[in-house]
């Protein structure tokens, strides 16, 4: 069996994927807190993780639980509008459509958003996605497919309205 790697390598290897998942599930504003809490909690539990376990699936499971906690805390404590932090820079590389796609993902119902993030961004099989979301693998697969379909509609609509605004 493969011996357990130093946690530094886990962060380097899976850090970007976990950030993408947190952004899709939580939105840009809370994603960094979600990422930090996920890896802090993972570091704590890492010695007990069985050797040979699927580290990425384990991290996504932790990210899922931490996201639920963050959403609950956010709902209990609405953000005061006048103190919204100014983000120093845009997400991703300017002009790459990151912001548009992330906004579209944010418009999906939670289950669809989670199914898309866990299956398409983190590569979890639908059987494991169902384990996180509850329900059957088929229901998870439907949520993922519906999510992708809705994303296409939102993104096509917004690019059309963009064209309309630009054309007099």
Partner 1 sequence: MTIHHDEPDVSALLAPLESVEPGLMQRLHDRLAAAAAEQDTLDIAYRTVDSPIGKLLLAATERGMVRVAFEVEDHDAVLQRLAEKLSPRILFSASRLDPAARELDEYFAGTRHRFDLPLDFSLSRGFRLSVLEHLPQIAYGHTESYAQVALAAGSPRAVRAVGTACATNPLPVIVPCHRVVKSDGSFGNYLGGTEAKRALLALEAA
By the criterion CB under 8 A, which residues form the site for partner 1? 3-8, 11, 13-17, 19-20, 23-24, 32, 35-36, 39-40, 43-44, 46-47, 56, 89, 91-93, 96-98, 100-102, 105, 116, 119-125, 148, 151-152, 155
Half-sphere exposure of 1 (CA within 13 A, CB side): 7
Supply 149's token pair. Answer: 């379909």
Q: How far is the CB of 72 from partner 1 (least distance, A)?
A: 21
Nearer to partner 1, 35 or 70 (CB): 35
* Least CB distance to partner 1 at residue 131 (A): 15
Nearer to partner 1, 3 or 80 (CB): 3
User: Among residues 139 and 148, whose Cβ is nearest to partner 1?
Assistant: 148
Give the nearer residue to partner 1 in terms of CB position, either 46 or 75: 46
What is the spatial distance between Cα 33 and Cα 55, in angstroms, rounded to a whole number? 20
Query: DSSP H helical segments within 46-125, as ranges?
Result: 55-76, 98-106, 110-116
Q: Is 70:30 a contact under the CB 8 Å cutoff? A: yes
Can you read off the two tokens belonging to residue 8?
Answer: 């530094």
Which structure tokens are listed for 156?
């096509």
């Amino acid at each position: 069996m493969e011996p357990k790697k130093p946690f530094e390598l886990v962060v380097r290897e899976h850090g970007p994927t976990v950030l993408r998942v947190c952004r899709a599930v939580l939105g840009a504003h809370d994603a960094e807190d979600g990422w930090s809490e996920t890896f802090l909690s993972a570091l704590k539990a890492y010695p007990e993780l069985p050797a040979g376990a699927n580290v990425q699936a384990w991290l996504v499971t932790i990210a899922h639980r931490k996201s639920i906690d963050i959403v609950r805390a956010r709902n209990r404590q609405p953000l005061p509008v006048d103190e919204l932090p100014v983000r120093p820079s845009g997400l991703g590389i300017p002009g790459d459509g990151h912001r548009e796609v992330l906004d579209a993902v944010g418009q999906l119902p939670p289950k669809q958003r989670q199914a898309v993030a866990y299956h398409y961004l983190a590569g979890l099989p639908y059987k494991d996605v169902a384990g996180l979301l509850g329900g059957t693998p088929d229901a998870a697969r439907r949520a993922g497919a519906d999510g992708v379909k809705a994303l296409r509609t939102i993104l096509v609509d917004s690019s059309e309205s963009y064209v309309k605004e630009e054309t007099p």
